Amino acid sequence: MTAHDQGHAHHDDWFAHTRTEGLPQQEHAGHVDTRALLIFYVLMLAFVVASVIGVTLFFKWYMLGVRQSATETLILAVEANEYKARTLDSLETYGWSGETVPGAARVPLDVARSRVLETYGSR
pTM (two decimals): 0.39
Distance, CA of 123 to CA of 120 (rounded, Å): 6
Average pLDDT, the chain: 81
**Domain layout of the chain by residue ranges:** 3-92, 94-123
Q: What pLDDT is recorded for position 32? A: 81
The per-residue pLDDT for range 39-66, each reduced to its tens digit, is 999 999 999 999 999 999 999 999 998 8
Q: Across residues 17-36, what is the average pLDDT?
A: 75
pLDDT at residue 30 is higher than 60: yes
Q: Across residues 60-81, what is the average pLDDT?
A: 83
